[in-house]
Copies of this chain bind each other. A is one copy, B any other.
Amino acid sequence: MATKQEIEEGLEFIPKFDDNGLIPVIALDAETGQVLMTAYMNRAALDLTIQTGYATYFSRTRRKLWKKGEESGHVQKVLQILVDCDQDCLILRVTVDAGQCHVGYQSCFYRALKKNSSNELEFIAEKVYDPHKTYKK
């Protein structure tokens, strides 16, 4: 069992998976720095990501490994993997094409809470592709 010092200031990568065997992951556009999406990985997804150089996640709803872009073509080529102080969250710095979110936006974070409101959102981005064409639904 690693000490707090080893986890926080050591050079060994010892990612902490939660009780469900998952670790949250933030995908960042390496070019713009924009947060594109968040997802989860289990150990197998992380290993595949490291081995192949392309982001593979674990889908909690479908209960299976999921290579980002396997259906849409919008893959994420991984340039760098960052880990936080307590090693329970990862950042992937990725190279991507246009349209990372399945709703049609470049980033999943396309809405913001309106100023002085606690429950009303506003759109802060424009769609960059038509998801109905991409996903053939």
Contact = CB atoms under 8 A, between A and B. Distances in A.
A50 to B, nearest CB: 5
A38 B112 contact: no
Given A12-B120, A24-B38, A118-B50, A85 B101 contact: yes
Nearest to A78: B113
A63 to B, nearest CB: 16
Interface in A33-68: 33-35, 37-38, 47, 50-51
- One complex includes copies of this chain to the number of 2
Interface residues on A, range: 35 or more
Interface string A90-117: 0100000000011101001111110001
Contact of A103 (B9, B13, B89, B118): B9
Given A13-B118, A26-B26, A91 B113 contact: no
Interface of A: 8-14, 24, 26, 28, 33-35, 37-38, 47, 50-51, 80-86, 89, 91, 101-103, 105, 108-113, 117-122, 124
